[in-house]
């Protein structure tokens, strides 16, 4: 039972345009969400997070939107750059349970075309 789903295995976007990566979750106890980026032959690196008390968090070109009623979050990258080509993982957690581990999606491979 996948509690965090990234339904698009890959996404191709023109350089300079907006990239939108989507993530759905099923567990209503999740209250903290993160995005990680992974380049080939490297470990994932933390990108941005959002708490369930917010519906938007912005960091430079990256914005994460959270729609709690739809159990959906999205990562927007504007404008997309070639260096953004990577696999993006969505992860969720339940902060009130200090031993609760992150639950990860399967990842979406983003390809930025020049």
The residues binding another protein (CB under 8 A) are 4, 6, 9, 32, 34, 41-46, 49, 89, 91, 93-95, 97-107
Distance of CA 84 to CAs 16, 62, 79, Å? 11, 11, 10
Nearer to another protein, 58 or 97 (CB): 97
Q: Could you tell me the smallest distance in angstroms from the CB atom of residue 95 to another protein?
A: 6
Nearer to another protein, 63 or 108 (CB): 108
Nearer to another protein, 9 or 82 (CB): 9
Q: Could you tell me the smallest distance in angstroms from the CB atom of residue 34 to another protein?
A: 5
Nearer to another protein, 69 or 99 (CB): 99
Q: Could you tell me the smallest distance in angstroms from the CB atom of residue 14 to another protein?
A: 26
Q: Could you tell me the smallest distance in angstroms from the CB atom of residue 86 to another protein?
A: 13
3 state SS for the chain: CCCEECCCCEEEEECCCCEEEEEEECCCCCCEEEEEEECCCCCCEEEEEEECCCCEEEECCEEEEEECCCCEEEEEECCCCHHHCEEEEEEEECCCCCCCCCEECCCEEEEEEC
């Amino acid at each position: 039972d996948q509690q965090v789903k990234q339904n698009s295995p890959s996404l191709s976007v023109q350089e300079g345009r907006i990239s939108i990566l989507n993530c759905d979750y099923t567990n209503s106890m999740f209250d903290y969400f993160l995005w990680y980026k992974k380049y080939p032959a490297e470990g994932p690196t933390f990108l941005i997070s959002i708490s369930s008390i917010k519906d938007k968090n912005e960091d430079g070109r990256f914005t994460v939107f959270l729609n709690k009623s739809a159990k959906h979050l999205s990562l927007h990258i504007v404008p997309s750059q070639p260096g953004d080509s990577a696999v993006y993982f969505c992860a969720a957690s339940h902060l009130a349970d200090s031993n609760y581990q992150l639950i990860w999606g399967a990842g979406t491979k983003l390809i930025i075309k020049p």
